[in-house]
Amino acid sequence: MNFSANDQSLEFAQKKDSDDPLRNFRESFCFPQSESSEGPILYFAGHSLGLMPKKAPEYIQEECEAWAKFGVEGHFKSRHPWVSYHETLTEQMANLVGAKNSEVVVMNTLTVNLHLMMVSFYRPTAKRFKILIEPNSFPSDQYAVDSQAKFHGFDPKEAIVELAPRQGEECMRESDILDKIDELGDELALVMLGNVNYLTGQRYNFKSISEKAHEKGAMAGFNLAHGAGNLLLELHDWEVDFAVWCSYKYLNSGPGGLAGCFVHERHHKDPNIPRFEGWWGHDKKRRFLMEREFKSIGNAEAWQLSNPPIFQLASLRASMDLFEKATMKALRKKGDELTSYLQFLLKEKCHVVTPDDRGSMLCLKIEEGSKKLLESLKSKGVIFDFREPDIFRVTPAPIYNSFQDVYHLAQIFEEVL
Ligand SMILES: Cc1ncc(COP(=O)(O)O)c(C=O)c1O
């Protein structure tokens, strides 16, 4: 999106807000109270923990009441029976990530799902044992791949190959990722990248990466922690083997909220794909027969282990209902405008690390005056985050942020820098 010098005014931001078809969604969220500043809170940390939907306590309360009223029978008698509560999220989640309903399940937390997926899709042999990861991958992802390699008897120093941008560059070139996959060839077992890199905001092209990984005989799995609820995704059509994501960032499910998991349908009934199993993955019609032998549900739900935490599912449902109403397409359109506007207002003031192919998050590198800026932003009621030594991450979330929020944030940068 292009902006002109005239657009740097409060009037412009106000006009954009009044024309915004999604403007009322802001009212559906609780904004934190300001402790130190005189003005309102400016919340730009949706990439870390999304705001609470006002309806979340109501959705949770409904299940508390069902528990009080029915006790154990709430599993079947609650308005949303707990035994199938997670299914109320399946279609919304599948639409959100571009999957078939059968390919998606909400369960566990992100790192747990990543391990479960690697149990199935990282099956190294003496020759093919390497995992390709992105530069600056999130520490939990690094610990997960390292420990999987060790679990299979490999030295992570040999098994884990980390991509690196070219000298003097901050982000990866797509052609370099594809070349690396080519180079690793039949030693490569798994490509495991993020969706949007957590430290640069760079988005990766799943389609071409999956295609190239498959061409070389490797699996392709992705971590959508910074993509689900942020970007338009087509996991099924892009042929990715698996994907995992958390829901407490863009999807506003609350601290420690449940995670999503995608398994492409071609793997659901493949007897060569091993899996860790539990009773919640067992054929639903037969689950309570308590049979000795496991009979798979036959879709992504087969990867479920335990009966899920209903209160966490309830808070996620409160947010997913809003996403369904808003639609990802409209959110992405507004998200692009909001982030482009922020970039336009900040571009003279600091170095933007994030390339154009991105979601809503903008990563800013500020070496000089970063400590002063940190203090000022905090004292003026801006909530965002900072990653040592010099990266400020700010995200205007289209479901609750406004153009005026962006304008006010840029004003603070202007004053301090
Ligand atoms: C990219 C990425 N991977 C993994 C995690 C860890 O998530 P969890 O604590 O839900 O396992 C996070 C959390 O922020 C993340 O951003």
Residue 351 has pLDDT above 70, yes or no: yes
User: Among 293, 323, 353, where does a domain finish?
Assistant: 323
> Ligand 1 mean position to 78 CA, how many Å?
32
pLDDT, tens digit (0-9, with 9 covering 90-100), for 32-85 = 987 766 667 899 999 999 999 999 999 999 999 999 999 999 999 999 999 999
Residue 10 has pLDDT above 70, yes or no: yes
What is the best residue among 118, 198, 244, 258 to mutate for testing ligand 1's pocket, by most ligand atoms within 8 Å of CB? 198
Residue 282 has pLDDT above 90, yes or no: yes
Distance CA 353, CA 363 (A): 6
> What integer pLDDT is reported at residue 39 of this predicted model?
67
Q: Are residues 21 and 102 in the same domain?
A: no
pLDDT bracket for residue 368 (50, 70, 90): confident
Q: Are residues 73 and 143 in the same domain?
A: yes
Of 387, 382, 338, nearest in space to 366 by CA:
387
Residue 364 lies in a domain: yes
Question: What's 362's domain CATH number?
Answer: 3.90.1150.10
Q: Are residues 193 and 318 in the same domain?
A: yes
pLDDT, tens digit (0-9, with 9 covering 90-100), for 304-333 = 999 999 999 999 999 999 999 999 999 999
Residues with CB under 6 A from ligand 1: 109-111, 138, 140-141, 194, 198, 223, 225, 246
> What integer pLDDT is reported at residue 374 of this predicted model?
87
pLDDT bracket for residue 389 (50, 70, 90): confident
> What integer pLDDT is reported at residue 67 of this predicted model?
98
Residue 56 lies in a domain: no
Q: Are residues 112 and 185 in the same domain?
A: yes
pLDDT, tens digit (0-9, with 9 covering 90-100), for 174-209 = 999 999 999 999 999 999 999 899 899 999 999 999
> What integer pLDDT is reported at residue 371 of this predicted model?
83
Q: Are residues 254 and 287 in the same domain?
A: yes
Residue 53 lies in a domain: no
pLDDT bracket for residue 361 (50, 70, 90): very high
Residue 417 has pLDDT above 80, yes or no: no
**Ligand 1 atom with minimal separation from the 246 CA:** 10
**Ligand 1 atom with minimal separation from the 109 CA:** 10
Residue 378 lies in a domain: yes
- Residue for token pair 């909530």: 383
> What integer pLDDT is reported at residue 237 of this predicted model?
98
> What integer pLDDT is reported at residue 103 of this predicted model?
98
pLDDT, tens digit (0-9, with 9 covering 90-100), for 230-249 = 999 999 999 999 999 999 99
pLDDT bracket for residue 15 (50, 70, 90): very high
Residue 252 lies in a domain: yes
User: Among 268, 301, 323, where does a domain finish?
Assistant: 323
Q: Are residues 89 and 215 in the same domain?
A: yes
pLDDT bracket for residue 7 (50, 70, 90): confident
In terms of pLDDT, which residue wins out, 134 or 39?
134
Q: Are residues 311 and 389 in the same domain?
A: no
Over residues 272-279, mean pLDDT: 96
pLDDT bracket for residue 169 (50, 70, 90): very high
Which range, of 90-99, 245-254, 317-326, 366-375, averages the lowest pLDDT? 366-375
Q: Are residues 196 and 291 in the same domain?
A: yes
Q: Are residues 181 and 243 in the same domain?
A: yes
Residue 52 lies in a domain: no
Question: What's 147's domain CATH number?
Answer: 3.40.640.10
Q: Are residues 266 and 387 in the same domain?
A: no
What is the token pair recorded at 166?
Answer: 């070219």
Q: Are residues 212 and 85 in the same domain?
A: yes
User: Among 290, 323, 356, where does a domain finish?
Assistant: 323
Q: Are residues 393 and 254 in the same domain?
A: no
Structural domain count of the chain: 2
Residue 54 lies in a domain: no
Residue 9 lies in a domain: yes
> Ligand 1 mean position to 259 CA, how many Å?
10
Domain that holds residue 397: 5-47+328-416
What is the average pLDDT value for the chain, to the nearest integer? Answer: 95
> What integer pLDDT is reported at residue 348 of this predicted model?
80
What is the best residue among 138, 244, 248, 395 to mutate for testing ligand 1's pocket, by most ligand atoms within 8 Å of CB? 138
